[in-house]
Amino acid sequence: MHGSIRLTSPKARRGRPQKITREKLAEVASEMGFTNLRLGEIAQRLNVSLQTLYNHVKDRDELLHLAAEVLEQADPKAMIEDCSWEQWWRSRARVLLEQYRRTPGLATILMNRPLSNAPPLIEQWEVAQVMAEREGFEPLKALWANLAVHEFVYAWASREEQGRNPERLAGPQAVPSGDFKELAPRFSYAFALAMSEPYEARFEFSLNAMLAGLRQGIGGDPDLG
């Protein structure tokens, strides 16, 4: 028996409890981070009992999805701008990536759930659609292109959340051994160059390459066969 283990649920701190709203839950979840979020800690932060919290969400997953939906709707409002579709997405992608980085775990949740039909988000997709069609994309290809770029940003942020950021792997253990250099000299040379470059440079290169490639798909009926 471990007498120090506490089996009772956390009690609320003394003082006036906060009013629980969707927005408040999302705010606290964002502050604490999604990765290791615990309902007991949320209850303590809100100064309510765990049972009171369960009156609003049935479990951790529901809380995470609720908070993700609220935070996603709080995305900086997208606007139709006097620039190219590629320029618009370069700016938009950086804004989204920084938002996901501020709340670790958010991108992974959003990436694995259906596209939200909340009005603020539909309005943002409408702006992206207008920008793409104005550039010359046909409607279906415009939708596919916008989804591809957004999914790229999701995947990039999600990989960072899961600790697969090459910057974090840099160090003596990441340097190819002598035998490896003999086996793959060109790759070893390129790998060393990559380790000396800012991590953000790879994101910019990948984003620009994707936008340029999608831009080549303008025109003609999509091949659905």
In this structure, what token pair is assigned to residue 182? Answer: 């003999």
b (16+ CB within 10 A) / e for 52-62: ebeebbeeeee
pTM of the predicted protein model: 0.72
Least Cα distance to 142 among 121, 120, 127 occurs for 127
Domains and CATH numbers, the chain: 22-71 (1.10.10.60), 77-215 (1.10.357.10)
Give one DSSP letter per residue of 129-171, joined into a string.
HHHHHHHT--HHHHHHHHHHHHHHHHHHHHHHHTT--HHHH-S
How many CB atoms neighbour CB 169 within 10 A? Answer: 11
Q: With cut-offs at 50, 70 and 90, classify the pLDDT of residue 195.
A: confident
Q: What are phi and psi of 29, to 5 degrees?
A: -60, -40
Over residues 134-157, mean pLDDT? 94
- Which tens digit of pLDDT belongs to each residue from 36-90? 788 888 888 888 888 888 888 888 888 888 887 777 776 667 788 899 999 999 9
SS3 content of the chain, % helix, strand, coil (to 5): 65, 0, 35
Residue type, 40: G
